């Protein structure tokens, strides 16, 4: 639905734009399955699937990227309408060899060879966490029917092999566009499967496209550094990129956070005269609702860290029920912003799940907004001020019309073509789904935000210390 809405709002180039958006030097290297023989982006199958694995970028015109701060941008000669360019997923980034760069062999084979013989989910739209109206006090524990958790929330289905290939390749394609300097911002609203583990499905997620995208950035996005004085300039020196993975879905990013949890322990305070351990390539920061009855069950890494945590690069910011735009504004200014400044990432991967909006049947504890200060668009605009190469994916979002409104609104905002609550939904295939308002408005929540000033003050103090620690560790290796 989001792709149809984006198209109906005239925010993307047409199919011709897609063809022009392809670039002949986007050849994957041999590390990413070049030998599998799949044809390049002009294959018929890929054309048919362009709506599924959508990556919005912008690789023609005088300027690269979707930055809204570039007046006079032209696509197809029409300077009044800035549009994103659609780039189809490069299927060579979704092969078995690519999936194995992160996932376990037996698990990948189970996904690719599944014939759909397992029992269907009891209710695939209902997660393993009880609803707010439930009397249950613990998440429901369904008996595991297989070692890979391919049941209940994560049922196998006939097109699963193709689906996982497209999900994985779409986000990796978006990240490669950043590495190749084709775009500054890449959107992949079908990506964001943050619960998938190395050898286990979870929370409707089968493969972790975000981990694969971050690994691609880490592998291919090395940053040139100046030669040392007196050093012979025989080859360009590089350093690993610093990547910030930021997750604003209402659920904890257990799959991504566990994938990048560094075994290194960072002392606090740093000891004079002793070597400072190198920082990892990926810093993860998950902002989410956490409670004993909310999926995934709370675990130490999903809670507010201690200021002296031995791993200041694997961060969580748990929120109480019904976090409003005002809470997100405080969280952004007091916690996310200091981490961003200290880490100074080369790339940002933002998982923008929208199940924190009111009325989401799975999120249920959401009270966020699209518009206004602290709203989703405001947060993205703050991120844009960092001026970093950024991949933004979707994530959770189970009120389909509101999810489409939110992601389309963010797309418009990034293009400098603001929509607001009064913007009419144009007639298109899914028009009826937007009743009764037929506008872009996501009705406001009226729940009481249970996040207190005291909670936010505590988080601010913790993040202040951790930001300083990150700053010192990065400086020690600069």
Chain residues in the site for Zn ion (CB under 5 A) = 249-251, 353, 355, 396
Give the closest residue to 26 by CA, choosing from 11, 7, 9, 46. 46
Q: Mapping DSSP to helix (H, G, I), strand (E, B) and coil, where does residue 440 land?
A: coil
CA atoms within 13 A on the CB side of 395: 30
- Helices 376-384 and 400-414 cross at an angle (nearest 10°) of 30
Give least dist CB 359 to Zn ion, A: 14
Nearer to Zn ion, 250 or 401 (CB): 250
- Helices 105-113 and 160-179 cross at an angle (nearest 10°) of 120
Give least dist CB 233 to Zn ion, A: 49
Nearer to Zn ion, 13 or 200 (CB): 200
Give least dist CB 194 to Zn ion, A: 8
Write b or e for each residue in 274-293: b if 16 or more Cβ atoms lie within 10 A of its Cβ, otherwise e. Answer: eeeeebbbbbbbbbbbbeeb
Give least dist CB 296 to Zn ion, A: 10
Q: Are 209 and 130 in contact (CB under 8 A)?
A: no
352/2 Cα distance (integer angstroms): 14
Give least dist CB 250 to Zn ion, A: 5
Give least dist CB 182 to Zn ion, A: 30
Nearer to Zn ion, 68 or 401 (CB): 401
> Two tokens at 414?
């990034």
237/254 Cα distance (integer angstroms): 35
The set of residues, in sequence order, having a beta carbon less than 8 Å from that of 157 and lying 6+ positions away, is: 116, 163
Nearer to Zn ion, 127 or 241 (CB): 127
Give least dist CB 131 to Zn ion, A: 15
Q: Mapping DSSP to helix (H, G, I), strand (E, B) and coil, where does residue 200 land?
A: strand
Nearer to Zn ion, 130 or 353 (CB): 353
81-84: which pairs have CB atoms within 8 A and are 24 or more residues apart? 81/10, 81/417, 82/415, 82/416, 82/417, 83/10, 83/11, 83/12, 83/13, 83/17, 83/58, 83/415, 84/6, 84/11, 84/12, 84/13, 84/56, 84/57, 84/58, 84/187, 84/411, 84/414, 84/415
Nearer to Zn ion, 21 or 202 (CB): 202
Nearer to Zn ion, 33 or 353 (CB): 353
Nearer to Zn ion, 68 or 250 (CB): 250
Residue 201, judged by CB atoms within 10 A of its CB (0-12, 13-18, 19+), counts as buried
Residue for token pair 């063809």: 19
Nearer to Zn ion, 128 or 276 (CB): 128
Nearer to Zn ion, 322 or 343 (CB): 322
Give least dist CB 241 to Zn ion, A: 27
Nearer to Zn ion, 88 or 203 (CB): 203
Give least dist CB 303 to Zn ion, A: 18
Give least dist CB 288 to Zn ion, A: 8
The set of residues, in sequence order, having a beta carbon less than 8 Å from that of 287 and lying 6+ positions away, is: 246, 247, 248, 316, 317, 319, 328, 331, 335, 336
Q: Are 257 and 314 in contact (CB under 8 A)?
A: yes
Q: Are 2 and 440 in contact (CB under 8 A)?
A: no
Give least dist CB 275 to Zn ion, A: 40
Give the closest residue to 156 by CA, choosing from 115, 128, 194. 115
């Amino acid at each position: 639905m989001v792709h149809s809405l984006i198209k109906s709002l005239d925010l993307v180039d047409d199919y011709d734009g897609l063809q022009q958006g392809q670039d002949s030097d986007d050849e994957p290297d041999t590390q990413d399955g070049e030998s599998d023989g799949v044809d390049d982006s002009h294959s018929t199958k890929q054309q048919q699937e362009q709506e599924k694995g959508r990556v919005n970028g912008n690789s023609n015109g005088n300027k690269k990227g979707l930055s809204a701060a570039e007046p006079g941008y032209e696509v197809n000669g029409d300077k009044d309408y800035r549009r994103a360019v659609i780039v189809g997923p490069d299927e060579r980034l979704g092969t078995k060899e690519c999936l194995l760069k992160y996932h376990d062999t037996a698990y990948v084979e189970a996904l690719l060879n599944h014939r759909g013989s397992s029992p269907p989910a009891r209710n695939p739209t209902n997660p393993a966490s009880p609803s707010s109206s439930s009397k249950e006090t613990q998440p429901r524990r369904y008996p595991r029917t297989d070692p890979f958790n391919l049941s209940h929330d994560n049922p196998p289905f006939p097109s699963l092999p193709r689906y996982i290939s497209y999900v994985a390749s779409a986000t990796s394609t978006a990240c490669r566009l950043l590495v190749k300097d084709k775009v500054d911002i890449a959107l992949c609203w079908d990506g964001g499967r943050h619960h998938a583990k190395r050898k286990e499905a979870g929370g409707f997620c089968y493969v972790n496209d975000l981990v694969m995208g971050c690994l691609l950035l880490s592998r291919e996005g090395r940053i040139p550094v100046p030669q040392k004085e007196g050093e012979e300039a025989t080859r360009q020196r590089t350093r690993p990129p610093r990547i910030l993975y930021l997750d604003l879905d209402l659920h904890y990013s257990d799959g991504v956070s566990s994938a990048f949890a560094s075994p290194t322990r960072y002392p606090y305070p740093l000891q004079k005269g002793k070597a400072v351990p190198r920082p990892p390539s990926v810093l993860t920061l998950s902002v989410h609702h956490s409670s004993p009855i909310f999926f995934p069950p709370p675990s130490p890494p999903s809670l507010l860290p201690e200021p002296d945590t031995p791993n200041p690069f694997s961060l969580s910011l748990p929120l109480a029920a019904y976090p409003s735009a005002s809470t997100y504004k405080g969280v952004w200014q007091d916690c996310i912003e200091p981490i961003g400044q200290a880490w100074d990432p080369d790339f940002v991967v933002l998982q923008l799940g929208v199940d924190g909006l009111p009325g989401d049947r799975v999120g249920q504890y959401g009270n966020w907004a699209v518009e206004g200060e602290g709203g989703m668009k405001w947060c993205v605009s703050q991120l844009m001020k960092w001026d970093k190469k950024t991949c933004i994916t979707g994530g959770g979002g189970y009120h389909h019309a509101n999810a489409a409104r939110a992601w389309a609104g963010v797309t418009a905002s990034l293009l400098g073509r603001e929509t607001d609550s009064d913007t009419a939904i144009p007639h298109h295939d899914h028009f009826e789904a937007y009743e009764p308002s037929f506008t872009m408005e996501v009705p406001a929540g009226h729940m009481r935000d249970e996040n207190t000033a005291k909670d936010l003050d505590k988080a601010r103090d913790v993040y202040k210390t951790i930001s300083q620690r990150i700053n010192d560790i990065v400086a020690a290796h600069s």
